[in-house]
Amino acid sequence: MDCAADQSGSIKRCLPREAEAIDFAAQLETSHRVLWVLAAGLAGRRELADDLVQDAVVAALGKLDQFTVDTNFTAWMAQIVRYTAMNRRRSERRRQMVSLEQAPIDSSAPTQRSEYNDDFESFHQNSRLPQDQPYFDDELTAGLNELSDVARACLLLRTVTELPYEQIARLLDIPQGTAMSHVHRSRQFLRQRLGQSNATSAKGKGLDQ
Amino acid sequence: MTPHQSPQFDPLDQYLDKTLSQTDRQRFESRLDQDDALNAEIRLQQRIDRSLRQWYEPKPSNGLLSRALTMTAARRAPKSKNRLFQLRPLAVAAAVAAMVLFGAWLIWPNTAMQSNVNGVINQPKMTLTAYYQQQLDAGFKPGWPCPPDYFKRVTAGRFDHALVMAETPPAGVEPLGVSDCRTISRKTLCMLAYIDKQPAMVFFDQVADDAGQTLDSSPGSSLSLHRAVLGEVVVYELSPWDQPRLIEMFSLPAPESESAR
């Protein structure tokens, strides 16, 4: 049958012939999670990951003749995700050349926390979240943004998808040792940043660590 | 703070990655019991990891491929529209000539209907997408109307297996009629319809004659193609919508009706 199976069962969805030849739909389904996390790491924002993966799939549909059957589909798609992310960054840089300078993130400044006044302790009293979770989340987000795209992608692929370092290296086309180094340094960096931040917020609010 | 080592040998990373041997893991955990600073680092890292897993776990990829296929065709469409615009006078003249000839066949005396069928038989087969595009270019008009009782007789006669068409179409669906269309085989019957005012087609033929249909990579491929099998009849729905809406109108008759054919 030329039509790929979909969730509905008896009614089959049909794709272009070249996509059918490599079972594109099934392979995409299998590799989607890894590709999404890769995209989120390279883009730096979860919100952009969906668009990035979709653009990569569109690009892949135009390059099906370049894919060799029985080779690593995820690695091939990862390459397209990387190129798509790179092109997006270039476009964004061109757009931003005339405008905005972002204020540097100052972890000691209370601006992002002005909404969290002395009442937030009671607000979180019955919550299972640690009481400093909002601070923690802010700092973790800021810390992730300071990582390089590749380092962040390595960290997320290791932490979220638990991919072996060898596979992470293949997806990003870097040596395995470099992938391990990125994860190691990223973890260290985030712990240092959050460790200092937690100490500051605990002192300021009288919270226990 | 753990002393900086090559990442491959940093026990903290190895512990987090669960790559320590059992002996080394037990040794490390003993250290944790005695080293408050190391313990705090591990707990902090575990907290970081929990947040990352929560934030970066993707949702399922529902509809991703459909959207990508639609975008792929949309990116091609402007070029094809420009080309069509340039060839418009020629296309109009060709369409008019084709309709005049077709009309002449229809009004030819005595064997008009047979000639029509023979004409269709002698035409080369087209892909479903190409036929759909041809019908769009020609104004999307069926050969003749097809109420449900007529549809059942036609499918019984043509495919030796009757299909039943719902008396009331689903919401938003407007069947127009049927045509002979030499696509899957020379016997293919196609129904033209509108789904929420968008043109759609359903193609019927015998399963045994179906070598498998796919979407073309041509300008019409912003479409979705769905396939179903009803008894010995294969049904393809081609439309701009991601989900099939026409196929559900058709079903196999109840056994009593089958014997009454």
Residue A56 has pLDDT above 50, yes or no: yes
What is the pLDDT averaged over residues B185-207? 93
Q: How does residue B4 score in pLDDT terms, banded at 50, 70 and 90?
A: very low
Q: How does residue B186 score in pLDDT terms, banded at 50, 70 and 90?
A: confident
The pLDDT, as a whole number, for residue A128 is 52
The pLDDT, as a whole number, for residue B60 is 78
The pLDDT, as a whole number, for residue B43 is 92
Q: Is A190 within 8 Å of B221 when comparing Cβ atoms?
A: no
In three-state secondary structure terms, B176 is: strand
Beta bridge partners of A4: A13
Q: Is B53 within 8 Å of A160 when comparing Cβ atoms?
A: yes
- pLDDT tens figures, B12-53: 999 999 888 999 999 999 998 899 999 999 999 999 999 999
What is the pLDDT averaged over residues A55-84? 88
With a cut of 0.85, is the ipTM above it?
A: no
The pLDDT, as a whole number, for residue A195 is 81
Smallest CA–CA distance, residue A114 to chain B, in Å, is 23
Chain A residues 148-207 with CB within 8 Å of chain B: 155-156, 158-160, 177, 180-181, 183-185, 187, 190-191, 194-195, 198
- pLDDT tens figures, A110-168: 443 333 333 334 343 444 556 677 778 888 999 999 999 999 999 999 999 999 999 99
Q: Count chain A–chain B contacts defined by CB atoms under 8 A.
A: 132
- pLDDT tens figures, B125-168: 789 998 999 999 889 999 888 888 889 988 988 888 899 999 99
What is the pLDDT averaged over residues A21-44? 88
Q: Which of B51, B213, B228 sits opposite A10 (nearest CB)?
A: B228
Which residues, other chains included, contact A20 with Cβ-Cβ below 8 Å and sequence gap of 6+? A2, A3, A4, A14, B214
More confident residue, B66 or A55: A55
Q: Which of A10, A13, A140, A192 to mutate to test the interface with B (most CBs of B within 10 A)?
A: A13
What is the per-residue DSSP string for A39-73? Answer: HHHHHS-HHHHHHHHHHHHHHHHTTGGGPPTTS-H
Residue B258 has pLDDT above 50, yes or no: no
Q: How does residue A24 score in pLDDT terms, banded at 50, 70 and 90?
A: confident
Q: Is the pTM of this model over 0.90?
A: no
The pLDDT, as a whole number, for residue B260 is 46
Q: Is A15 within 8 Å of B215 when comparing Cβ atoms?
A: yes
Which of A24, A19, A73 lies closest to B221, judged by CA?
Answer: A19
Minimal-distance CA residue of chain A relative to B247: A11
Which chain B residues are within 8 Å of A198, Cβ to Cβ?
Answer: 44
Dihedral of the CA atoms B150, B155, B156, B159 (nearest 10)? 160
**Which strands form B189-195's sheet, in the order they lie side by side?**
A3-4, A12-14, B224-230, B233-239, B198-206, B189-195, B173-180
More confident residue, A12 or B246: B246
What is the pLDDT averaged over residues A69-94? 87
